[in-house]
Structure 1
Amino acid sequence: MPSGLPSKICESCGLPFNWRKKWKKNWSEVKYCSERCRKNKKQKV
């Protein structure tokens, strides 16, 4: 992973993911690494 970027753990799959430019305005609200995980948020792995 590139250093210097903030990262979080996906609430659905449990994998780490880094900040992306598209999340610039709402990074504090991002909980999932992808649309797929967001749609499957009730299924914890």
Structure 2
Amino acid sequence: MAASREAGWKGNKATLPSKPCVACGRPMSWRRAWAKNWADVKYCSDACRRRKAAP
């Protein structure tokens, strides 16, 4: 029964936290892969990470 309940659940992505990318400024929303280090996530993609500003 749990599998059918999960298959029908769409979720509410509007309630997920978000923050802007340091490089491009686009908003990036929380992802499960970033759950353990959400505070340390700064870039929305590898391309933005490569384009980051020099310190």
Common topology (TM > 0.5): yes
Give aligned-pair identity as a percent: 52
The CA deviation at 1:34 is 0.7
- Runs of 4+ in structure 1 deviating by more than 2 angstroms, as ranges, are none
Matched, 1:7 2:18: yes
Q: Are 1:20 and 2:31 an aligned pair?
A: yes
User: Would you say how many aligned residue pairs link Structure 1 and Structure 2?
Assistant: 42
Indicate the structure whose relative CO is greater, using CA pairs within 8 Å and at least 6 residues apart.
1
Which sections of structure 1, spanning at least 5 residues, go unmatched? none
Distance in 2 of aligned mates of 1:5 and 1:35:
22
Bigger radius of gyration among the two? 2
Question: In 2, distance between residues paired with 1:12 and 1:23?
Answer: 18
For 1:11 and 1:26, locate their aligned partners in 2 and report how far apart those are by CA, in whole Å: 16
Looking at structure 1, the residues matched to 46 and 32 of structure 2 have their Cα atoms a distance apart, in angstroms, of 16
Cα RMSD between the aligned structures? 1.3
User: Per residue, is there more helix in 1 or in 2?
Assistant: 2
Alignment partner of 1:36 is 2:47: yes
Unaligned runs of 5+ in 2: 1-12
